[in-house]
Amino acid sequence: MASVAYCTREDVKQRLDFAEIALSNSRIDAATLSASRDVDSLIKYPDNGIAPTIATYDFNWPDVASPTPWRLWLDDRTLISVTSIISGGITIPPANYLLEPQRYGAPFDRVEIDISTVSTFNFASTWQRSIVINGLWGWTDDSGPAGSLAASIASAGAVACNVTDSNAIGVGQVITVDSERMIVTGKTMLTTAQTLQTPVGATMAEQTMAVTNGALYAVGEILLLDAERMLITDIAGNNLIVKRAYDGSTLAAHSGSTIFAARILTIVRGQLGTTAATHSNGAAITKWLTPDKARELAIAESINRLLQETSGYARTVGAADAIRNASGAGLEDARARCYASMARQGRVLAV
Angle at 158 between CA 46 and CA 33, to 5 degrees: 30
pLDDT tens digits along 8-21? 999 998 888 666 55
| 3-class DSSP assignment, residue 129 | coil
Distance in angstroms (rounded) separating the CA atoms of residues 30 and 23: 11
Distances (CA, A) of 212 to 71, 110, 134, 197, 247: 63, 56, 51, 7, 25
Tallying the residues shown for the chain, one arrives at 351
Rounded to two decimals, what is the model's pTM? 0.88
Calculate mean pLDDT across residues 253-266: 97
Residue 38 C-beta-side C-alpha neighbours within 13 Å:
22
Is pLDDT above 50 for 45? yes
Q: Residue 14: which region, alpha, beta or left (left: phi > 0; alpha: psi -120 to 50)?
A: alpha
- pLDDT over 50 at 61, yes or no: yes
pLDDT at 321: 60
* Listed range (187-191, 243-247, 278-282, 346-350) with the worst mean pLDDT: 346-350
Helix (H, G, I), strand (E, B) or coil at 158: coil
The band of 347, judged by pLDDT with boundaries at 50, 70 and 90, is very low
The residues, any chain, with a CB within 8 Å of residue 101's CB and separated by 6 or more, are 108, 109
Binned at pLDDT 50, 70 and 90, residue 322 comes out as: low
**What's the whole-number mean pLDDT along residues 262-267?**
97
For the stretch 326-340, pLDDT in tens is 556 678 888 888 998
Report the alpha-carbon distance of residue 255 to residue 234 in Å, rounded: 21
Residue 329 is predicted with a pLDDT of 63
The SS3 assignment for 297 reads: helix
Within 13 A of 253's CA, how many CA atoms are on the CB side?
3
Residue-level pLDDT at 341: 86
Lowest mean pLDDT among 14-23, 60-69, 308-317, 321-330: 321-330
Listed range (62-71, 216-225, 264-273, 306-315) with the worst mean pLDDT: 306-315
pLDDT, mean over the chain: 90
Backbone angles phi, psi at 320, to 5 degrees: 50, -130
Burial (CB < 10 A; 0-12, 13-18, 19+), residue 213, is exposed
The whole-number average pLDDT for the span 37-42 is 95
pLDDT more than 90, % of the chain: 75
Report the phi/psi class of residue 240: left, alpha or beta, with left for phi > 0 and alpha for psi in -120 to 50.
Answer: beta
Neighbouring residues of 41: CB distance < 8 A, sequence distance ≥ 6 = none
Asked whether the predicted pLDDT for residue 350 surpasses 50, the reply is no
Q: What is the pLDDT of residues 97-135, one digit of tens each?
A: 999 998 888 999 999 999 999 999 998 888 899 999 999
Q: Mean per-residue pLDDT for 159-182?
A: 96
Tell me which of 67-71, 189-193, 239-243, 316-320 is least confident.
316-320
Average pLDDT of the segment spanning 275-293: 97
Q: How far is CA 33 from the centre of its chain?
A: 10
- The beta-carbon contacts of 234-239 under 8 Å, at least 24 apart in sequence, are 238/197, 238/210, 238/211, 238/212, 238/213, 238/214, 239/208, 239/209, 239/210, 239/211, 239/214
Half-sphere exposure of 319 (CA within 13 A, CB side): 0
pLDDT at site 332? 83
Mean pLDDT of 84-89: 96
Sequence-ordered alpha helix ranges (H) in 275-328:
292-310
Instruction: Return the closest-CA partner of residue 288 out of 146, 78, 95, 132.
Output: 146
Res. 351 pLDDT band, cuts 50 70 90:
very low
Q: Is 332 helix (H, G, I), strand (E, B) or coil?
A: helix
The answer to whether residues 111 and 100 touch, using CB atoms and an 8 Å cutoff, is yes
Mean pLDDT of 244-263: 94
Region 224-245: mean pLDDT is 96
